[in-house]
Chain A
Amino acid sequence: MADLRTDFLGIRSPNPFWLASAPPTDRKTNVLRAFKAGWGGVVWKTLGEEGPPVVNVSGPRYGAIHGPDRRLMGFNNIELITDRPLELNLQEIAEVKKLYPDRALVASIMVPCDEDSWKRILPRVEATGCDGVELNFGCPHGMSERGMGSAVGQVPEYIEMVARWCKAFTRLPVIVKLTPNITDIRHPARAAKRGGADAVSLINTINSIVSVDLDRMAPAPHVDGRGTHGGYCGPAVKPIALSMTSEIARDPETRGMPISAIGGITTWRDAAEFIALGAGTVQVCTAAMTYGFKVVDEMVTGLSTFMDAKGYRTIEDFRGLAVPNVTDWQYLNLNYVAKARIDQDLCISCGRCHIACEDTSHQAITATVDGRRRFVVKDDECVGCNLCVEICPVENCITLEHRTVGTDPRTGQPYAQPYANWTQHPNNPASSAGRAAE
């Protein structure tokens, strides 16, 4: 039986599944339900400074993109940080931590970008007995207009400055939550590291308008006829989060920095993928908001089954194993040849592979053979692009086969050739071979 326990910056949790700072972690009632359901940890919904709390809209806060059968694929919100008094939240955090000392309990914080604000709040948070703080530099709506959230996360110098203050004012581990609404995630991550932050968490939500109401000619959902951009999350954003996680994991300046991964994690597999890219814990929100806290059962059991099957005893056994295999395009092996093959026994003759290839790619799949409806890959045209594999409705019907024996009829080159990449290619003017050719 796999051991799912994690030790993230000294914060222990029975499994790597934490609930992200968000509506599900806004109050004691919810968090107790989450812990009872088996979640390994919780990042409490973002606390603001002392004083009158923020005010949320009383119209719709959420919008969504749906797939078939109204499966929620992408989710958008315009909710602000907690709208409950600071003291109430602090009191509840203390109570919950006492009730569940074995779970991770991290407090998310967002206060104005001045030293005093952070100096004031951090000791009070620390006094709750919570395990760490997460600096919310990510929320892209509402609070960012007030100079907080992603407005900070978009300026590496601010990240570094605030991280430094926090490390000075608390002994708790400091996690910096990054916004993806930037051009290169490595810069804010490096800034967090320079500021002394212990870890980063990412991604926060992405600026988004999920829909336009074509009757009202306004963003949908709307508040009294007008809408604003929100933050996008849910299954649809996972690929973006995976990429950004991998960039931080393999950047020479941030390599080895602990990462708590966030972004569309819905299943055990999503979690395993983030862990393979270096994440120490994963944070979930949309899946819980869609299905309730019980989804953690699938995640925990699925991850455990996977680890048992692979012989991974602990999370650390496979954490980061995929990182070395993430590379730049220029280092991909240009001599690797794969071609599609269609399993005629599995093929249901929908013909989509043919028309996709014919209309939009390389005209490499037949529609008929000897006058009969039949879909076969033409090796002399196939470039192994994988389009047909991805659009085929039948799993494993079309596969890409690595070719090693014989000659590629498309290029006339032997299949078996040693590794060679773009940096060595004669067509690359910057390569030594390219320079020699000139």
Chain B
Amino acid sequence: MASMATDGVTGWRLAPEDYVGNFADLSPPLTRHEAFVESERCYFCYDAPCVQSCPTGIDIPLFIRQIAKDNAIGAAETILSANIMGGMCARVCPTEQLCEEACVREHAEGKPVRIGSLQRHATDAIMAASAAAGRHPFPRAPETGRSVAVVGAGPAGLSAAHRLALLGHAVTLYDAKPKLGGLNEYGIAAYKTPADFAQAEVDFILGIGNIAVVPGVRLGVGTDLATLRGRHDAVFLGLGLGGVNALAGMEDQRNVVDALSFIEALRQAPDKAAVPVGRRVVVIGGGMTAVDAAVQARRLGAEQVTIAYRRGAADMKASRWEQELAQTNGVVIRHWMTPAGFDSRDGAVTAVRFAHRGADGSAAAEGVAIAADLVLCAIGQSFLAGSLGTGDLALEGGRIRVDAERRTTLPGVWAGGDCVAGGLDLTVSAVEDGKRAAIAIDAHLRATEPVSLLAGAA
């Protein structure tokens, strides 16, 4: 039986019941009374700053007032009409940097209305009601007879698919993975989406109907963009970032892995206790993925977990709330640490070497080594543009260039989410991309002839 102090990489470091608690809901839902009390704190601001700072423009004062007046279902409809993934966003949005940062009560007393928690309260209610009734809350418009391919069933693709179906189009949704949801299913800490919430939300979204799901299809493998363009009236690309940035030398080391693979394995593991983790874990990076990996490593029973980041706290892409979450979970965050190499024994990593540049980054670099039997690299991902083929699709900084309506440079092709240039790399912005693209595609389709007619004419 392993313990937290067992050297090497192993599972079963904790008692079985510890895993249950450690991977339960990070922020439990508000009770009905808590929701009433919290919703009454909202001032129902005019031209509310929180709405301005929501990438999907949810009418936050309205939905909170609906909750306050005992209409959680109406509140959820307000949320979901702007953001069909309101449920997941309530769990993973960095609200402290978006709506709650803008809340006038944050300005007034440093204690914003808990918008994210209230949003979860409402969306949980409608998803439960919808599941119980076996009915999706939004009715589809009359069928247009037009067909749209959506490639990638992450937040952008699911958002686009839902909106397109809502507007009356027939959607075919392609995804490379066996399960839909993208990073919601594979890339987010388990305690943020317990009880298989990601799949419940996928089912809820697909409940609108007229979305044909084709899993296990990767662009460039089995189908390609040209084929999809020929078969559908329009195409939406909601591709993920297929490439994981690597550290020099990591491929030679055993137990140096990319953090996303670690998170994915953890998410998909039926028994969290079986997921192997080191006694001493070093996570390299400073974003949400680094925090998700580090905190979960601790919760799997790692004795020491260190996040090593090459710049300062203010530069970290992980929000302050996330950084504090890591720290309250016993993760040590060290700044100004530039990876310089690995030490190993018998091919397995024993330490990570860094060039450390003092407290504020200005001091001369000195060598620091942190002992590690598991190293998780979270230094970013990259878009693999090769899957697009050699088309006329213009890129920008390695990602797909789109306009305000998420239109690519290729006629009939829209894109959104992580694969496009200039995004925020957030679930909520991906959802907005999908929504905007769908609205633009709808306008385009209503103004043009169906591809089937064109094909027939040819």
Binding site for B on A (CB under 8 A): 68-70, 348-352, 354-355, 367, 373, 393-394
Contact = CB atoms under 8 A, between A and B. Distances in A.
Contact of B104 (A69, A70, A349, A355): A349
A68 B104 contact: no
A350 B33 contact: no
Interface string B1-37: 0000000000000000000000000000000010011
Contact of B107 (A68, A349, A355): A349
B107 A348 contact: yes
A350 B104 contact: yes
A68 B43 CA distance: 12
B40 A355 contact: no
Contacts of A367: 46-47
A350 B43 contact: yes
6 contacts: A70-B33, A349-B104, A350-B46, A351-B45, A351-B48, A352-B46
A348 B105 contact: yes
B43 A349 contact: no
B43 A393 contact: yes
A348 B104 CA distance: 6
Interface string B39-53: 011011111110000
B108 interface: yes
Contact of A394 (B36, B40, B41, B108): B108
When A and B form their complex, which 8 residue pairs have the shortest distance between CB atoms, in order from nearest?
A351-B46, A68-B40, A355-B46, A348-B108, A350-B45, A348-B104, A350-B43, A350-B104
Contacts of A355: 46-47
A69 B40 CA distance: 8
Nearest to B61: A350
Contact of B43 (A70, A352, A373): A352
B40 A352 contact: no
Contacts of A354: 46
B108 A352 contact: no
Contact of A352 (B36, B41, B45, B49): B45
Contacts of B40: 68-69
Nearest to A359: B46
Nearest to B46: A351
Nearest to A353: B46
Contact of B49 (A68, A69, A349, A394): A349
Contacts of A394: 108
Contacts of A349: 45, 49, 104, 107
Contacts of A393: 43
Contacts of A373: 47, 49
A348 B112 CA distance: 12
Nearest to B40: A68
B448 to A, nearest CB: 39
A350 to B, nearest CB: 4
B100 to A, nearest CB: 14
Nearest to A393: B43
Given A68-B40, A70-B33, A351 B107 contact: no
A351 B49 CA distance: 10
A391 to B, nearest CB: 10
A373 B33 CA distance: 34
B161 to A, nearest CB: 36
Contacts of A68: 36-37, 40-41
A398 to B, nearest CB: 14
Contacts of B47: 351, 355, 367, 373
B48 to A, nearest CB: 8
A352 B37 contact: no
Nearest to A69: B37
A367 to B, nearest CB: 7
Interface in B39-92: 40-41, 43-49
A212 to B, nearest CB: 14
Given A352-B43, A373-B47, 11 more contacts: A68-B37, A69-B36, A348-B104, A349-B49, A349-B107, A350-B43, A350-B104, A352-B45, A352-B46, A393-B43, A394-B108
B79 to A, nearest CB: 21
Nearest to B47: A351
Contacts of B107: 348-349
A363 to B, nearest CB: 14
Contacts of A350: 43, 45-46, 104
A373 B104 CA distance: 12
Contacts of B108: 348, 394
Nearest to B37: A69
Contacts of B105: 348
Nearest to B107: A348
A352 B44 contact: yes
Nearest to B52: A373
A390 to B, nearest CB: 14
Nearest to A356: B46
Nearest to B108: A348
A350 B60 CA distance: 13
A350 B104 CA distance: 6
